[in-house]
Chains A and B, each alone.
Chain A
Amino acid sequence: MKTLVVTSPVPVSPTQSQATTRDAKRAATRATSEPRLLQWFLIALAVGTMGLILVVPLFVVFSEAFSKGLELYKASIVNAEAMSAIKLTLLVAFVAVPINTVFGVAAAWAITRFQFKGKGALITLIDLPFAVSPVISGLIFVLMFGRRGIFGPFLQAHDWKIIFALPGIILATLFVTFPFVARQLIAFMESQGAEEEEAAVTLGANGFQTFWRITLPNIKWALLTGIILCNARAMGEFGAVSVVSGHVRGQTNTIPLQVEILYNEYQYTASFAVASLLTFLGLITLGIKTALEWKTARQLKEGQT
């Protein structure tokens, strides 16, 4: 029992006074918590489950990427094909993220600051990409702009290429990533309310001044969270992009597609080396997101007092 006391998890429970004996404390916490041994068992079980499901892939990525030494790792990334994939991915994110940021701000403003008919349907529509398979997200653009698609003959006549080219990749990425900024902002602005903006208007501010001086400073952390999540997905999207890209090496391969090609060619180390870039991106995204969520939670709390 003694060892348990030192390292024991502190149950989230009220009544604890130093004067009471340990037994009394235990009796009091029994109403809202479990015996310590059971707590430890559950914690161990949860950590084990997460380890098996989540940590294993992380561990594999890095151990495989560096299994043949740092030289090969560097060579796997610094080569023409990989570099062109990195450039393409950056370009796609550079176009898609700003567009979806503008959309997200507009949608959140309309939805959280006004009452109108069909608002519920609009919110559902914004959630749609989360329910639609990425493969289908790519497919709809192939059906429109592909060689045998609706606009296929028209595009071919003008020698324009959308599918198996950059525009198609950007379209598919826009589709799968448009909800991120909007959702983040809708949730935050809804809980924050419109009082500060109303106050600005009573003080004589016009629309632009209200948005620039009041709304934007207030939503900046939530907006940033949305942007980095949108960016992570834009750079990591595989299914939708795979359908529209055509996998032309050095031209229409994004980083995730490059990972796939290398893996299917049994170049495991190179594949995992490139994959490790995306893994770093994912981990950094998680870190920033956690920090930003902490900030927004504090901001909402301050707003309430």
Chain B
Amino acid sequence: MKRSHRVLPGFGLSLGITLLYLSILVLIPLSLLFWNAGGGGWEHFKSAAFSPRALASYKITFGASFVAATINLFAGMLIAWVLVRYRFPGRSFMDALVDLPFALPTAVGGIALTTAYAPNGFIGRQFAPDGIIGRHFGPEGLKLAYTPIGIVIALTFISLPFVVRTVQPVLGGLDAQLEEAASSLGANRFQTFRRVIFPYIWPALLTGWTLGFARALGEYGSVVFIAGNQPLKTEIVPLLIITRLEEYDYPGATALAVVMLTASFSLLLAINTLSRWTNRRASA
């Protein structure tokens, strides 16, 4: 920066504080993590990061996160649409409630969902062999908690707000004249949605999906209670990391963390690209 002076004061001070703080809290610890992971050699890293148990946990974590994010793509789109387009009693209350998963500690969400969806809980009971829904699923009924379905339920809960909150402003900023134009050109309501509205909000939907997916990948608190935590079946990666730590297997925990962080960073990059796309689309 070769400016002779800046108009507003405090550039050096504020940037200095910011960089110092981020270095101590984020950059140094994270780079040490990667340095640690390289320390034990590739063979060691591979055996820890790609053991059968680790592979199974990736599968369940990524799979359940994918399903949850996709459920929220539809649920979030629906909620955003209703909140932006319609006026009805209780709308602002509903709008505020969307952020509940951000405000409610994950452990609380976890135990509450487990209690509701466990076989003796008031929703899980309906899916038991003699329940109104469960009886259609044969003698076993349908088990929700302590199965991958339970994991999906928890992840759906914590990642619901993302799609709603990314789509809402874009949908709200959509010029009504675009729809009037489509209608004047002879499009019916469904065609208008498919050809005018949907292409406009599509980048925001995708951004919301990615944000929700990224959040679900790392989620721990709400999942551990409902998952059942059986190795190879319902064990998520964050739990496996903690297990390794409790065994004082630091290299094992680090290897898993590096794999997850790589996924997170890629997603963060994707999110940044997507939101630039969204902003361009919204301002066009």
CB within 8 Å of A: which of B179-215? Answer: 179-180, 182-184, 189, 214-215
A residues at B contact (CB < 8 Å)? 9-14, 30-34, 39, 42-43, 45-47, 49-50, 53-58, 60-61, 64, 102-103, 105-107, 109-111, 113-114, 116-117, 120, 122, 124-136, 139-144, 146-150, 171, 174-175, 178, 194, 197-198, 201, 206-207, 210-211, 229, 232, 235-239, 242-243, 255-257, 259-260, 263, 268, 271-272, 275, 278-279, 281-283, 285-287, 289-290
Listed stretches B42-50, B135-143, B265-273; interface member: B265-273
On whether the beta carbons of B15 and A10 are closer than 8 Å, the reply is no
Across-interface contacts of A210 in B (CB, < 8 A): 8-9
On whether the beta carbons of A175 and B25 are closer than 8 Å, the reply is yes
Task: Tell me how far the C-beta of A268 lies from the nearest C-beta in chain B, rounded to whole angstroms.
Answer: 7
B14 in complex: contacting residue of A42, A55, A109, A136, CB < 8 Å: A109
On whether the beta carbons of B78 and A130 are closer than 8 Å, the reply is no
How many of chain B's residues have a CB under 8 angstroms from any CB in A?
96
Across-interface contacts of B18 in A (CB, < 8 A): 103, 106-107, 110-111, 122
B residues at A contact (CB < 8 Å)? 1, 6-11, 13-15, 17-19, 21-22, 25-27, 29-30, 32-33, 36, 75, 78-79, 81-88, 90, 92, 94-109, 111-113, 115-116, 121, 123, 156-157, 160, 176, 179-180, 182-184, 189, 214-215, 217-221, 225, 237-239, 241-242, 245, 248, 250, 253-254, 257, 260-261, 264-265, 267-268, 271-272
On whether the beta carbons of A279 and B29 are closer than 8 Å, the reply is no
Task: Tell me how far the C-beta of A157 lies from the nearest C-beta in chain B, rounded to whole angstroms.
Answer: 19
A-B contact count, CB below 8 Å?
A: 298
Are A144 and B97 also in contact (CB < 8 A) when A10-B87, A30-B189, A132-B218 are? no
User: Interface residues of B: mostly helix, strand, loop or mixed?
Assistant: helix
Across-interface contacts of A53 in B (CB, < 8 A): 75, 156-157, 160
Whole-angstrom distance between the alpha carbons of A187 and B19 in the complex?
19
On whether the beta carbons of A13 and B242 are closer than 8 Å, the reply is no
On whether the beta carbons of A54 and B268 are closer than 8 Å, the reply is no
On whether the beta carbons of B100 and A116 are closer than 8 Å, the reply is no
Task: Please name 16 pairs of A and B residues whose Cβ atoms are closer than 8 Å in the assembled complex, sorted by A.
Answer: A11-B86, A30-B183, A31-B179, A33-B189, A106-B17, A111-B18, A130-B215, A132-B264, A136-B218, A136-B257, A256-B105, A259-B111, A260-B107, A272-B111, A285-B103, A290-B95
